[in-house]
């Protein structure tokens, strides 16, 4: 009897995608748009300037191999943030705080998992939509995994709550400074204009995410054999019958320190432009605070930190290799060619279909440009004038960009934050893809309907630049 097909390890899948990207650099012509430097120092492409490179050069096999360690260097901020979070959480667990917190949450939500799931999806979506949080969710993953296991759920449910909130928050954000603000500035429309529609669709999209995760969770709770992660080792595995320690004053002080760290991180992101290096420093401070309050001793804290880092070594490798896919395409100088090839057919479609086409294009390009703001600087200078020609207002083009960037964050393996979250929970990428694909399809369908209606009812007409203003902006 022949053995059935076995899905390769996630590392093999990512290396295979790197190889495909490498081969594409030999098959796709190299070309460029001219770029201009904006006031903030970022580079934006100039529409109508695409041209093939005069000399077509190709990456060598050595370039492919060198791209792997270079990718680790490019993703170092995420990798070391994950290491720091894993190590610090290991210290916190050694004090009994994590187990005590899980026990307390079980008392509150043990018989109401639907409320817990909705609250997590809603709150994470709200935070992502408001201030663009993403990697900041990684510290919550292990806590939610332990809580879900104790509620007879699984790690997939925990990851589903986190990632659904994260992706939906970015996709329907009302005022995310890293996506909405950047895209509207590049499209030359007032910042935060059109907020009414984005606020109106926030809750319906959150409910789509909640329904998907809760439907799966109910099946697993009724029959654990239906769990997609059945048989896999799971961090912080527990049961509802376990004897969790009481949440004492010392635990409460440590949790207060965590809340203070998160508040400080949010303040730093919104007011000081902090990101993962600074956030790592904040969590190191919490780790020191936890060691002192928990009274576990410096040597034990050091050992626990190292053990926590060890547990996430495989996650760090996946994050680094995932970054290599985009790096290969950047080195091969074919990214602008792909953008040009995808955007050109849009001018031949009707306005409604073109808006959906913009959405699909942004979704595909997020695989190669996983940075939300980076994608805005590359694509919005092209989408805005294309929309002017075919009758898609720039506000709709920005919405299509948001949907494409945000929702695909939940499923593309080049997203370092996603790989960090599923790696922290011990969920292989192919199983996550199987869980997330139906949700992604539902969100794609709902977003397409919103875009068609937005075009039909003239969303963004009130802020559409006049033809003369557009010409002057392009001339500059």
Give 57's contacts (C-beta < 8 A, 6+ positions apart): 30, 333
* 31-32/35-37 β-pairing: unpaired
In this structure, the dihedral spanned by the alpha carbons of residues 123, 125, 128 and 133, taken in order and rounded to 10 degrees, is 60
Say if 350 falls within a structural domain. Answer: yes
Give the number of residues written for the chain. 476
Lookup: tokens for 397: 């083009």
3 state SS of 112: coil
Say which residues have a Cβ less than 8 Å from residue 149's Cβ, sequence separation at least 6: 155, 234, 236, 237, 238, 239
Q: Is 194 a domain residue?
A: yes
Those residues of the chain that have pLDDT short of 50 are 1-3, 239-241, 467-476
4 found inside a domain: no
Answer yes or no: is 2 within a domain. no
Each as own residue / partner, the long-range contacts of residues 282-289 (CB below 8 Å, 24 or more positions apart, any chain) are 283/84, 283/85, 283/88, 283/139, 284/84, 284/88, 285/261, 286/88, 286/257, 286/258, 286/260, 286/261, 287/84, 287/87, 287/88, 287/91, 287/92, 289/254, 289/257
Residue with tokens 């600087």: 377
Q: Say which residue the tokens 């260097």 belong to.
A: 73
Is residue 5 assigned to a domain?
A: no
Q: Are 224 and 230 in contact (CB under 8 A)?
A: yes
Q: Give the domain extent around 409.
A: 10-49+60-475
Q: Is the dihedral of CA 412, 415, 417, 421 positive or negative?
A: positive
pLDDT, position 5: 55
Give the count of domains, the chain.
1
DSSP 8-state secondary structure symbol assigned to residue 347: G
The answer as to whether 296 is a domain residue is: yes
Q: Does residue 1 sit within a domain?
A: no
Residue with tokens 């995410």: 209
Q: Give, as one character, the DSSP assignment of residue 234.
A: -
pLDDT digits (tens, 9 = 90+) for 229-277: 988 776 655 544 456 778 899 999 999 998 898 888 878 876 787 777 8
The reply to whether 23 falls in a domain is yes
């Amino acid at each position: 009897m022949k053995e059935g097909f076995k899905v390769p390890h996630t590392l093999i899948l990512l290396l295979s995608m790197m190889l495909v990207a490498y081969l594409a650099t030999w098959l796709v012509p190299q070309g460029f748009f001219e770029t201009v430097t904006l006031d903030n120092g970022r580079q934006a492409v100039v529409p109508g300037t695409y041209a093939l490179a005069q000399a077509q050069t190709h990456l060598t096999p050595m370039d492919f191999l060198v791209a792997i360690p270079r990718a680790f260097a490019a993703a170092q901020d995420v990798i070391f943030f994950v290491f720091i979070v894993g190590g610090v959480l290991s210290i916190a667990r050694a004090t009994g705080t994590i187990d005590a917190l899980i026990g307390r949450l079980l008392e509150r939500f043990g018989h109401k998992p639907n409320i817990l799931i909705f609250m997590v999806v809603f709150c994470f979506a709200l935070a992502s939509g408001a201030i663009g949080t993403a990697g900041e969710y990684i510290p919550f993953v292990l806590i939610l995994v332990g809580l879900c296991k104790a509620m007879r759920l699984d790690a997939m449910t925990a990851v589903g709550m986190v990632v659904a909130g994260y992706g939906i928050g970015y996709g329907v954000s009302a005022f995310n400074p890293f996506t909405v603000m950047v895209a509207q500035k590049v499209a030359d429309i007032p910042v935060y204009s059109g907020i009414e529609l984005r606020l109106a669709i926030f809750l319906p999209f959150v409910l789509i995410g909640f329904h998907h995760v809760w439907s799966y969770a109910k099946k697993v709770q009724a029959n654990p054999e239906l769990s997609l992660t059945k048989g896999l080792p799971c961090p912080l595995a527990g049961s509802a019958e376990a004897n969790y320690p009481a949440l004492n004053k010392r635990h409460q002080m440590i949790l207060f320190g965590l809340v203070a760290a998160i508040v400080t991180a949010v303040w730093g992101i919104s007011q000081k432009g902090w990101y993962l290096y600074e956030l790592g420093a904040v969590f190191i401070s919490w780790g020191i605070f936890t060691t002192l309050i928990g009274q576990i001793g410096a040597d034990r804290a050091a050992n626990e930190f190292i053990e926590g880092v060890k547990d996430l070594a495989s996650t760090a490798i996946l994050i680094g290799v995932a970054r290599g896919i985009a790096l290969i395409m950047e080195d091969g100088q074919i990214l602008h060619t792909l953008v040009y090839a995808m955007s050109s057919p849009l001018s031949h479609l009707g306005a409604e279909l073109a808006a959906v086409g913009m959405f699909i294009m942004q979704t595909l390009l997020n695989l190669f440009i996983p940075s939300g703001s980076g994608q805005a600087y590359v694509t919005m200078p092209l989408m805005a004038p294309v929309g002017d020609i075919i009758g898609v207002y720039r506000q709709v083009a920005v919405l299509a960009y948001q949907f494409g960037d945000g929702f695909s964050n939940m499923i593309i393996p080049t997203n370092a934050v996603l790989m960090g979250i599923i790696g922290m929970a011990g969920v292989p990428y192919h199983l996550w893809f199987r869980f997330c694909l139906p949700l992604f399809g539902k969100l794609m369908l709902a977003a397409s309907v919103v875009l068609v209606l937005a075009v039909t009812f003239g969303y963004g007409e009130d802020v559409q630049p006049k033809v003369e203003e557009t010409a002057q902006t392009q001339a500059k």
